[in-house]
Amino acid sequence: MNTEAIQELAEMIKNGNITAKINDHYKQLTQNPKLLISLQNEASDRMNTSLIERMIDVPIGNDLSFTDKSGNQIHIADFIGKTIVIDCWATWCAPCIGALPAMEKLAEKYQENPDVVFLFLNTQDSRGRKRAVELFSKNYSGLNLLFDEANVAGAFLGVSGLPTKLVIDRNQHIRFRHVGLSGSMQQQMDELSAMIEVSQKN
């Protein structure tokens, strides 16, 4: 048994570096699935503790609105009582485009949960409407594409860079604001999923 490799993998898992490849490698080396579950639980506890420390509490009111691809107004007040995840992105932003597959998977995870809504807000992108519609029609037709062409909503929500992920609780308070990308696709999904769960409990 390669003790050094096992210890190294265990540290990676505890630090949230949980991928299918790392998990499989750890299980093969230890031959003990219970150890992996224990490490994953420890990683989850660490993440939740860290997220609770990072939580913010910024009320947004009920006046905020966006437009859909047909030009209809969508009001944030329509989602009172639900946890809202807003992915602020632009067609010129390569990291934003790169994160969309992970966001699609996360939206699919919650599609049976009526209390969680995902909104994909095209903002800071005054000439990207046509490209955004084409991209979503071709690859992400099941996702809620909205527009903030005058950057009013983005400014109101405190979007300082792209991509920005916002998690808004059922009382219409921003609880998390995360700018940029970090980690693997799985790590991004795990962290945002944990943000949703923490927001629903606190």
pLDDT in tens, 62-93: 889 999 999 999 999 999 999 999 999 999 99
Q: Does the model's pTM come out above 0.85?
A: no
What pLDDT sits at residue 13? 64
ω into 101 cis (within 30 of 0): no
Lookup: tokens for 120: 């994909």
Instruction: Enter the tokens of residue 34.
Output: 């219970």
For CATH 3.40.30.10, the residue range(s) in the chain are 58-201
List pLDDT tens digits, range 155-177.
Answer: 999 999 999 999 999 999 999 99
In angstroms, the CA 115 to CA 79 distance is 9
The whole-angstrom distance between residue 134's C-alpha and the CA centroid of its chain comes to: 22
Answer yes or no: is pLDDT of 44 > 80. Answer: no
Q: Provide the CATH topology of domain 58-201.
A: Glutaredoxin (3.40.30)
Q: Residue 96, SS3?
A: helix
